[in-house]
Amino acid sequence: MYYQNVREGLFLRRPNRFIAHCLVEGEEVIAHVPNTGRCGELLIPGRRVWLTWHPEPGRKTHYTLVTVDKDGLLVNIDSQAPNRIVAESLENGALELPERKIVSVRREVTFGESRLDFVAGDADGGRTLLEVKGVTLEEGGLCRFPDAPTLRGLRHVRELTRAAEKGEQCAVVFVIQMEGMREFRPNDDTQPEFGKALAEARKAGVLLLAQQCHVTPEKVTLAKRVPIVLQ
């Protein structure tokens, strides 16, 4: 996926979850932050960032903060990017599901008590229920999810577990919004229930994938997979 009208800047402060103050070409601007997570290890004053500029009528802010330079590691923080990346990758074959040739992709599909991100149809008439989670929390090449407790994410994993137990093909894809990672683990320090739910999902037959991304200020694309380590 690509970004248009990208501007480089410096992060100054984040007064609330939704906006950030940044310095762009010598001017302090207010930018939308497309990520309600904490991002405390990323959004540190003085760090280099990249923003998209869209001076459209009706927008409260003309800038959106999408990428952070974390000591030389570019991290995309756009929470909408993982779904867009997975949709493109399913359609062009860059994301492959075992023994499945994907021929159709439907988004935002209601299943049970949840709205899942995708249903991917295959050439044999089957389907895969698929949920996507974006990952921005990293330390020394180890990435974790979630960075804050997520009841919605927990509900989705449990919904897919129940579906898999009934014979559905299901998958959870963790889109790691950076490159150079060695492994993925659930963040048991923040939400131990999520890690337990992932282990139960894998046991029930849910496919778990962690796929890192090649990130530039203008472009984010899938790169190689990394192993998922569960307790």
**Where do the structural domains in the chain lie, given as residue ranges?**
6-72, 81-225
Query: With the CA atoms of 179, 67, 89 and 182 taken in that order, what torsion angle do they form, in degrees rounded to the nearest 10?
Result: 20
Contacts of 1 by beta carbon, 8 Å cutoff, 6+ apart: 81, 84, 85, 88, 219, 220, 221
Separation of alpha carbons 157 and 130, rounded Å: 10
Q: What is the pLDDT of residue 33?
A: 96
Prediction pTM value: 0.94
Output the CATH code of domain 81-225: 3.40.1350.60
Token look-up 């950030």 returns 20
- Other beta carbons less than 10 A from residue 184's beta carbon: 24
Separation of alpha carbons 146 and 134, rounded Å: 9
Q: What is the pLDDT of residue 92?
A: 87
CATH of 6-72, one of 3.40.50.300, 2.40.50.580, 2.130.10.10, 3.30.365.10: 2.40.50.580
pLDDT in tens, the chain (231 residues): 999 999 999 999 999 999 999 999 999 999 999 998 889 999 999 999 999 999 888 788 899 999 999 999 999 999 999 999 999 999 888 888 877 788 899 998 888 778 899 999 988 888 999 999 999 999 999 999 999 899 999 999 999 999 999 999 999 999 999 999 999 999 999 999 999 999 999 999 999 999 999 999 999 999 999 999 997
* Triad 188, 193, 195: Cα angle to 5°: 55
